[in-house]
Amino acid sequence: MKNQLKQLILENRNSLTKDEIIEKSRQIEERLFNFNKYKESKAIMFYVSINSEVHTHEMIQKALLDKRVIVPKVVHHEIEPSIVLDFDSLIPSGKFGILEPIEAMKIAYKNIDLVLVPGIAFDKQGHRIGYGFGYYDKFLAKVPKAIKIGLAYDFQIIDDVPKEEHDVPVDFIVTEKRIIECEK
């Protein structure tokens, strides 16, 4: 069931045009940047979007003006948070070609205020379906005090995500239409 759900939502997401992705992402950015949890955070970890994900490249560039920006660098199948000073210093890496820093500029986990989390589907309890590699669940377990926010298109919000013991839910989900405070 989880795989069928994943497939269905990915098909919907991949059917978005580039213009739809940019417009919905701009609306999500506006909601996020005006959200108090974001405004109050100093060190924010962004994911660097690929394909039809909520587009984060412009968000990262804008955040660099007044926030400490962190992005994932995958090292030995684990996410290592790395400070970014300039978006143009990121290069395609790994088997998916996701933009990453050439070398990790480490930051202590406890110094990360907020983590933006990608996903294929989310429910209102904050559970998510990711890509199935477990990178984010392992990482999120290491930053229990950080606020966790999923970025998603509104159609990615479903009634119930199948849960597993190691899953770490997000606290909020920001879509182009709303901010959802997840029910714990």
pLDDT tens readout for residues 70-115: 999 988 888 999 999 999 999 998 777 899 998 888 999 999 999 9
- Specify the pLDDT at position 166: 79
- Residue 162, pLDDT score: 84
DSSP state of 47: P
Mean pLDDT of 131-141: 86
Percentage of the chain exceeding pLDDT 70: 99
Q: Are 62 and 90 in contact (CB under 8 A)?
A: no
Beta-ladder partners of 69: 44, 84
Name the region of 94 (left: φ>0; alpha: ψ -120 to 50; beta: rest).
Answer: left
Whether the per-residue pLDDT at 128 is higher than 90: the answer is yes
The CA distance from 135 to 132, in Å, is 8
pLDDT of 96 = 78
Tens of pLDDT, residue by residue over 42-68, are 999 999 999 999 999 999 999 999 999
Given a cut of 70, is residue 1 above it in pLDDT?
Answer: no
pLDDT of residue 69: 97
Cα–Cα distance list, 120 to 13, 153, 170 (Å): 8, 9, 13
Question: Which of helix, strand or coil describes residue 104?
Answer: coil
Structural domains of the chain sorted by starting position, each given as residue range(s) with its CATH number in brackets: 2-181 (3.40.50.10420)
Distance CA 145, CA 57 (A): 25
Mean pLDDT of 139-167: 93
The DSSP code for 126 is S
